[in-house]
Amino acid sequence: MIGEKKYTEEEANEYFKELAANREVIRTTYQYVTDTVTQALRTEDFSKLFSLIPYIESLEDTKAYSFTGRSQRILKYLHIIQLEYNYQCPLFCEGCPDADAVYNKYVSCLLAMRRIAFHLPPESIQEADSFLRTCVLSPFAVYMITSDDRIDATGEFYRHMLDLYRDLWSETEIQMFLGFTHLGGAAD
Amino acid sequence: MNPKKFCFILCSNNELMLNECIHYIRQLEIPEGYELDLLTVADASSITEAYNEAMRESDAKYKIYLHQDVFILNRNLLNDLLAIFASDSSIGMVGMVGYDAISPDGLMWHEPRLGNLWLYTKAELYPPLASYRFSLEKDGIFNAALIDGFFMATAYDLPWDTEDVKAWDFYDVYQSITFWQHRYRVVVPNQKYPWCLHDDDRFLGLTHYDTYRQKFLKRYRHLLGKRYFEIQETAPQTRSL
């Protein structure tokens, strides 16, 4: 077809040769990130934790980043924690002893919010709501976890989340959330 | 074989994802008079061996081989699968995403994609999920040379290749070809709303992929670049099981 690229076996062979050559770099890069998260959590060294943000972002054009999909979610939760730290909110990583725990918390929250976004039956959503209430997510966490992560985060969804956390968030947090989500005058 | 039974077959190594996947399965409408079963295989070393074992263990006519990180959004999926299989007894397997031809380099995603998968960037183009209903007559199905292994629903049991496929790659490619060569159609429904969301973490685990790609290229070189009907032309005239 006109304009349609046809891939050759030689191109694929090159791609996998490059992947094999970078395999160890990818592994050690990922290991460095997770080890640093764990160390930083254990020592409450937030400078160390946040130093990973420019580090991971500097990898964006490299194979190490593109081949390690988890890095995108790790970067997101680092941004969440940094915003919470700067705004003196309870931190997303609170109670998480290591990198795996933070990652699992991230995924658990995403899965719970997906049940709401995809209109699962009331009992499912009730379960999700209970879980999310125990997590007490910040507006940063709600907004960023649901941005571009395979979830249908509409105005209806954000209103549900606002109702869920209205009594737990401060007025400032509510206004921030309204701003991120363009819910406008939905504070009442 | 129980013609009124579905069985979901899943391999798993992540309890969090598996439990959520099963949660979505439990929300499915079960067609009247039908049963739904579930078999999970934990920490399997080879997906084809696990699938063969589960296939032998289940008496369900309709088996759905599903990845643990797939969430079924279409709650009418089982009825829709029945409608597709009932429309033509030569339809042997249904996928959610497929490809019209076998790519010359063996990488299935290098061919134009058929079917649908939930993508954040296209969410605004989908009809509302609450009112979405698949219609075989209006929406139709596509024949696919290959389907993606995250969802493979079968109406016939054909053994999975354990000789060439010893880990987690290319099992879907080999099985798609096997079905065509047994003169069963492999199809993908035209989904205006994606029936599934696949949360693969955007991570393509390609550690051993090329090993199996090379085996595939060696064995099926004569099929590279071929479309589904050309694969079927290489099948024997009578169906053998």
Q: Mark which residues 30-69 of B lie under 8 Å from A by CB.
A: none
Q: Which member of A19, A115, A119 has the closest CB to residue B130?
A: A119
Q: Is the pLDDT confidence value at B203 over 70?
A: no
- pLDDT band at B183; cut points 50, 70, 90: very high
Sheet with B97-99, side-by-side order of all strands: B113-115, B97-99, B146-147
Q: In sequence order, what DSSP letters do the residues of B90-138 get, joined into one string? A: TEEEEESEEESB--TTS-GGGSPEEE----GGGGGGSPPGGG----HHH
Query: How many Å is the Cα radius of gyration of chain B?
Result: 17
In chain B, the largest separation of any two C-alpha atoms, in whole Å, equals 47
What pLDDT was estimated at residue A188?
Answer: 47
Helix axes A122-135, A99-117, angle to 10 degrees: 140
Read off the pLDDT of residues B120-129 as tens digits, 9 standing for 90 and up: 778 888 998 9
Q: For residues B123 and A153, give the distance between their C-alpha atoms in angstroms, rounded to a whole number.
A: 9
Q: Is the pLDDT confidence value at B241 over 60?
A: no
CA distance B21 to chain A (A): 10
Among A24-38, B64-78, B217-231, the minimum mean pLDDT is found in A24-38
Read off the pLDDT of residues A70-128 as tens digits, 9 standing for 90 and up: 888 999 999 999 999 999 999 999 999 999 999 999 999 999 999 999 999 999 999 99
Give the residue from chain A lying closest to B210, CA to CA.
Answer: A16
| Residue at token pair 């959330």 | A177
Q: Is A173 on the interface with B (CB under 8 A)?
A: no
Give the residue from chain A lying closest to B205, CA to CA.
Answer: A67
Among B16-25, B28-37, B44-53, the minimum mean pLDDT is found in B44-53
CA distance A162 to chain B (A): 21
Cα distances (Å, whole numbers) of residue A73 to A70, A78, A141, A156 = 5, 9, 12, 24
Q: Is the pLDDT confidence value at A64 over 80?
A: no
What pLDDT was estimated at residue B239?
Answer: 54
Q: Is the pLDDT confidence value at B168 over 70?
A: yes
Q: Is the pLDDT confidence value at B162 over 70?
A: yes
Task: Please provide the average confidence, as pLDDT, over all residues in chain B.
Answer: 92
- pLDDT band at A20; cut points 50, 70, 90: confident
Evaluate whether residue A137 is within a structural domain: yes
Read off the pLDDT of residues B74-108 as tens digits, 9 standing for 90 and up: 999 999 999 999 999 999 999 999 999 999 998 89
Read off the pLDDT of residues A129-184 as tens digits, 9 standing for 90 and up: 999 999 999 999 999 999 877 888 899 999 999 999 999 999 999 999 999 999 87
pLDDT above 70 covers what percent of chain B?
95
What pLDDT was estimated at residue A2?
Answer: 38
Tokens of B11: 């391999």
Q: Do A69 and B106 touch (CB under 8 A)?
A: no
According to DSSP, the β-strands at B185-189 and B91-95 are: parallel
Chain A residues whose CB is inside 8 A of the B75 CB are none
Q: Do A16 and B197 touch (CB under 8 A)?
A: no
Cα angle vertex B45, ends B24, B180, to 5°? Answer: 70
Q: Do B123 and A11 touch (CB under 8 A)?
A: no
Q: Do A12 and B213 touch (CB under 8 A)?
A: yes
Q: Is B206 on the interface with A (CB under 8 A)?
A: yes
Q: Which pTM does this prediction carry?
A: 0.93
Among B23-27, B69-73, B167-171, the minimum mean pLDDT is found in B167-171
Q: Is the pLDDT confidence value at A186 over 60?
A: no
Tokens of B239: 């169906």
Structural domains of chain B in order of their starting residue, each with its CATH number: 2-233 (3.90.550.10)
- pLDDT band at A1; cut points 50, 70, 90: very low
Evaluate whether residue A1 is within a structural domain: no
Evaluate whether residue A161 is within a structural domain: yes
Q: Do B202 and A69 touch (CB under 8 A)?
A: yes
Q: What is the number of domains present in chain A?
A: 1
- pLDDT band at B206; cut points 50, 70, 90: low
Amino acid at residue number A156: E
Chain B residues whose CB is inside 8 A of the A111 CB are 16, 20
- Check if the beta carbon of residue B188 is closer than 8 Å to that of residue B200: no
Q: What is the ipTM of this complex?
A: 0.91
Q: Which of B137, B128, B144, B129 is nearest to B96 (CA)?
A: B144
- pLDDT band at B3; cut points 50, 70, 90: very high
Tokens of B238: 């009578």
- pLDDT band at A4; cut points 50, 70, 90: low
Q: Do B71 and A7 touch (CB under 8 A)?
A: no
Q: Do A12 and B123 touch (CB under 8 A)?
A: no
Q: Do B119 and A150 touch (CB under 8 A)?
A: yes
Q: Is A22 on the interface with B (CB under 8 A)?
A: no
In a mutagenesis test of the A interface, which of B26, B68, B69, B71 is the best target, namely the one with the most A β-carbons within 10 Å? B71
Average pLDDT over residues B44-67: 95
User: Where do the H-state alpha helices sit in chain B?
Assistant: 15-25, 47-57, 77-87, 136-139, 171-181, 209-219, 228-233
- pLDDT band at A62; cut points 50, 70, 90: low
Q: Provide the domain limits for residue A55.
A: 9-181
Evaluate whether residue A4 is within a structural domain: no
Q: For residues B102 and B200, give the distance between their C-alpha atoms in angstroms, rounded to a whole number.
A: 23
Cβ–Cβ contacts within 10 Å for residue B239, how many? 13
Q: Is the pLDDT confidence value at A3 over 50?
A: no
Evaluate whether residue A95 is within a structural domain: yes
